[in-house]
Amino acid sequence: MIKKLAYRQRRQMWVCICLLSFMVILFSGLELMWGNTFYSPWEVIQALVHQDNFAVVQLRLPRVLVGILCGFAFGIAGHSFQTMFRNPLASPDIMGVSSGAASFAVFGLLVLHKSGIVISILSVMGALFTSFLIYRFANNTDSKLTKMILVGLGMQAFLQALISYMILKAAPNDLSNAMRWLSGSLNHSSMDEVLRLLPIVVLIGGILMWIQPHVQILKLSKEMAIPLGVNVKRIQMLVFVCAVILAAVAASTTGPIASVAFLSGPIAQKISRQNQNSLPIAGLVGSLIVLLADCISQNVLPIRYPVGVITGVLGAPYLIYTLLRLNKKGGRG
């Protein structure tokens, strides 16, 4: 009976992965074909084989690949946070990690007048530093995970205020790059960014998938995890650090694309029917959200908005729904 259940869950997981992978490939193809100039599927294939079409190879392909990798990274990071903290609000973009990356990046853009790889390094440093502060402030409490969420929400508010102050004090000529980065954008994506992202996403994502069985045991109960040989503190620290690195590296490339990390986990849990191996599904959902939002922003709407604007609009209703649901549960308790 247990073997049958395990087999059914594995089969269900692979069906979800295959369907989501097909949809990612489908929307990637649409992104490569659709734009100011429409190219047929055959023309896109010829361009990719012969590398002779500037629009497809140099502009659209890096945009698609960066969107897939960053969406995958945000999706896995968000789902890891939500699983470890056992709270749907526990997401890098809500707990202040993305705001930490944004505050350091805006400081580099508006105050230090830097760009390129320097901004990427600063944003990763900002996310890691903010995460360290959140962990330290909550480390000496009995309910550390709950405290970390509350501290993260406080850090989010403080950092958003700091970003607003820097924007108000900045020279008008410097604002365009900062606002583009803050809104989360795939513009100016390049193959160099793809090559920087790919090994990090594969390595850190692989580590998170490898320890996922321990995380699932920890999700059920800390008291149950210890007798089963799970080192609770080590697993929590490893998940936290890996998820922060993934979110930081993705945000350093595109800016903090709103709501992708927040939405991917719950959607993955729904379509996988609470399957324990839903982490890769969350990553694919994140990629799909970014590609879908980019298709809408670039080709459907009359004005081309940054992709983060569309994902933010998609995530806002779910955030309100989540807050109302948690409030009802609290009222019943």
Give residues with Cβ within 8 angstroms of 69, minimum separation 6.
194, 197, 198, 201, 250, 287
- Give the helix ranges, DSSP H, for 170-305: 175-183, 191-210, 212-220, 222-225, 232-254, 260-271, 279-295
User: Tens digit of pLDDT for each residue in 188-224?
Assistant: 888 988 998 999 999 999 999 888 877 777 766 666 6
Q: In this prediction, what percent of the chain has a pLDDT beyond 90?
A: 22
Contact 267, 286 (CB under 8 A): no
Class of domain 2-92+187-332: mainly alpha
User: Tens digit of pLDDT for each residue in 35-70?
Assistant: 888 888 898 888 888 888 888 888 899 999 999 999
Residue 266 CA to residue 85 CA, distance in Å, equals 14
Give Cα separations from 193 to 34, 199, 224 (angstroms).
22, 11, 42
- Put simply, whether the predicted model's pTM sits higher than 0.85 gets the answer yes
Band (232; pLDDT cuts 50, 70, 90):
confident
User: Tens digit of pLDDT for each residue in 66-123?
Assistant: 999 999 999 999 999 888 877 777 888 888 888 888 899 889 888 888 877 888 888 8
Q: Of 69, 68, 94, 70, nearest to 81 (Cα)?
A: 94
